[in-house]
Amino acid sequence: MRSHPDRRINAPLWEGNRCHDRSPGALHQRRRRGHHARTNTYGDGLARALQTTDLEACEGRPPRRTSRAGLRKLDEIDARAAASTVLGGDVEALLEPRAAGNREALRFLLNARIIMERQGTADRLMLTSMLRTMDRGVDARRALTDGQVLHISRWRARRDDDLSTGIASAEAKWLAAAIVHFRAQLKANHRQLQEVVGIMAAGLLDLYGVGPVSADRVLIWYSHHGRVRSEAAFAHWQG
pLDDT of residue 231: 79
How many residues does the structure list for the chain? 239
Residue ranges of the domains in the chain? 2-93, 102-238
pLDDT at position 160 is 83
Query: Cα–Cα distance between 91 and 13 in angstroms, integer?
Result: 14
Quote the mean pLDDT of the chain. 75
How far is Cα 43 from Cα 37, in angstroms, rounded to an integer?
A: 7
Cβ-based burial of 111 (10 A; exposed 0-12, middle 13-18, buried ≥19): exposed
Instruction: Write the CA distances from 160 to 83, 164, 169, integer angstroms.
Output: 70, 12, 12
The rounded percent of the chain whose pLDDT value lies above 90 is 27
Per residue in 141-180, pLDDT (tens digit) is 888 999 999 999 999 888 888 888 889 899 999 999 999 9
| Helix, strand, or coil (residue 58) | strand
Contacts of 66 (CB under 8 A, 6+ apart): none
User: H helices then E strands: how many in the chain?
Assistant: 8, 4
- pTM to 2 decimals? 0.60
Query: What pLDDT sits at residue 60?
Result: 65
